[in-house]
Amino acid sequence: MRVMAKVVTATGAPAAGRKAAWWVPTKTGTFELWDEGVTSKDGVLDMDVSRASFGAHLRLDGAMVAAYPVRFTGSVYDLGVLVLLEPTRKEIRAVSAGAYVAPAPPADNEAPGGVDLEARLKASGVQIEAARAKLTEVSLTQVRVKWSETTATGALEAEAQFEQPPPKAPVETPPASTPARPVPDLRGLTPAAAQRAAAAVGLRVEVTPLFVAEPERHGRVQRQVPEPHTEITTPTVRVYVGRNPEE
């Protein structure tokens, strides 16, 4: 039997030198390469095949041909005019001329084979600037947007990534240096008197009890930290006040 076809490109030019293969089914449910041929300089395929059973089919350049024969007799299997798909779509290399749909030319703002992502997003109600604004609201620095659609000519897909620089950390102003102040001598004073003496030079007193047996030492500052007449930049002086251990 003869397998025949005229193979052309999308522009109608002859597709010369295209490898053709005739595959036939096997008993195990797979297919086996049976005969091979090649298109002529005019894109014509005319090859003899030694076996033709149900399920046998033609492949071009190793991919499928999606076409029904225009003439099928006991000696001729004629597929008519086949149009090559550039690139191969879903493992299909060629289709019949009657089923071929030429891809639409790209718009001015759309790259060939790509998608005008901004136009697609705006058409769906999502604004680019709104997406950028959301980055700040949710404290994100990167968002990737992906658009895909399937048309009669195949699948289109595009991606875009928006980046928002992280907010700058506030500049901390170092605290003003505290001038050194002399520590007054608070020993022998009552807690109230010690508070007044410390406040007079901009200091405050923290009182800690100190258990002592002598009654004359009760209620009086027995020692202090820092020592008297020391110059300090911290605001606190700790005093230890005598206290009756039996209380």
What's the CATH code of the domain at 188?
A: 3.30.10.20
In a domain? residue 84: yes
Q: Residue 116 pLDDT more than 70?
A: no
pTM beyond 0.95: the answer is no
CA distance 95 to 58: 11
Both 8 and 91 in a single domain? Answer: yes
When divided into structural domains, the chain yields a total of: 3
136-170 pLDDT tens trace: 555 555 556 555 555 555 555 555 555 555 556 66
Tokens of 97: 């001329």
Instruction: Quote the pLDDT of residue 158.
Output: 55
217-247 pLDDT tens trace: 999 999 999 999 999 988 999 999 998 887 7
Token pair 């609201």: residue: 137
Instruction: Give the count of beta carbons closer than 10 Å to the beta carbon of residue 198.
Output: 23
Both 185 and 237 in a single domain? Answer: yes
Instruction: Quote the pLDDT of residue 159.
Output: 57
CA distance 44 to 246: 120
Average pLDDT, the chain: 79
Sheet holding 204-211, edge to edge: 204-211, 236-243, 221-225
Q: Residue 119 pLDDT more than 90?
A: no
Which residues, listed in sequence order, are joined to residue 44 by a DSSP beta bridge? 6
The answer, yes or no, to whether the previous bond of 226 is cis (omega within 30 of 0) is yes
User: In the 8-state DSSP scheme, what is residue 116?
Assistant: -
CA distance 124 to 17: 46
Instruction: Quote the pLDDT of residue 50.
Output: 86
What range does the domain containing 147 cover?
Answer: 117-163
In a domain? residue 156: yes
In a domain? residue 176: no
Token pair 């099928």: residue: 72
Name which residue leads in pLDDT, 35 or 89: 35
Q: How many CA atoms lie within 13 A of 157 on its CB side?
A: 3
